Amino acid sequence: MFEDPNGARVLYDPGHTVAGGTDPRLGKIDVILVSHMHADHVGEATFKAAGAGTCAKPDLSVPTPQTNVIDIALAKNRRSSPAARCRRSSRRGSRRAVAIRPARCCALRRQRDGGGVKIATVAALHSNGVDGDLIGGELGKSMKAAGIAGDVGPATGYVLRFSNGLVAYLSGDTGILADQQLVIRDYYHASLVVMNMATAHTGPAEAAYSSTNS
């Protein structure tokens, strides 16, 4: 969660870490950012409650067929807000949440009280498949049985420019990219890097190198 000095709040890839849209830790949300559609980022299941289970074995016993991201967006929006499209508020001071499908919005700007958070999508080098359980129906069952996922386009990262001038790079899941120097550092001048690390794409050495060149 990121909060701008003017009060605008951005939720990024909640995955399994939030107990649905009613989790009391969420509070007000203005924008939900999704880097890609893997379950650990959108959440195919949630905790029963905040803190359920242990760190080693969290209690992910509540299935969410439409994903945790959409559950949160619905709870905060009080109406349907599908991840398959990008919406922006046309009303000053609107508090509705926005679900953003990766690689469908090159920029999203929220202006409030004369300022706001400017958000741009940037490249990420990672797969972006939708699990058969999230697709549903006979097609979803067949895909799961075959061990394949539905591709929904490239994964993304984000650059956030806050009203106080801070520029943050949210990498999403990605390997090393030339864009991390050319775009993130040289063009956007990011001064804060939030780097995802995992053995599948970016280890500590790669993360340190990417952060230095961002």
pLDDT at 179: 92
Q: Tell me how crowded residue 18 is: count the other CB atoms within 10 A of its CB.
A: 21
For domain 2-212, the question of CATH label 3.60.15 is answered with yes
Output the DSSP codes for 2-50.
Answer: EE-TTS-EEEE--TTSS-STT-TTT---SEEE-S---HHHH-SEE-SST
Q: Is the dihedral of CA 128, 70, 109, 181 positive or negative?
A: negative
pLDDT at 115: 56
Tokens, residue 67: 């994903």
User: pLDDT under 70 in the chain at which residues?
Assistant: 77-115
> Hey, which residues does 4 pair with through a beta bridge?
none
pLDDT at 82: 41
pLDDT at 166: 95
Tokens, residue 186: 């040289």
Q: How is the chain split into domains, by residue range? A: 2-212
pLDDT at 3: 92
What does the alpha-carbon distance between residue 120 and residue 117 come to, in Å, rounded to a whole number?
10
What does the alpha-carbon distance between residue 211 and residue 214 come to, in Å, rounded to a whole number?
5
pLDDT digits (tens, 9 = 90+) for 1-39: 999 988 888 899 998 888 888 888 888 888 888 898 888
pLDDT at 16: 86
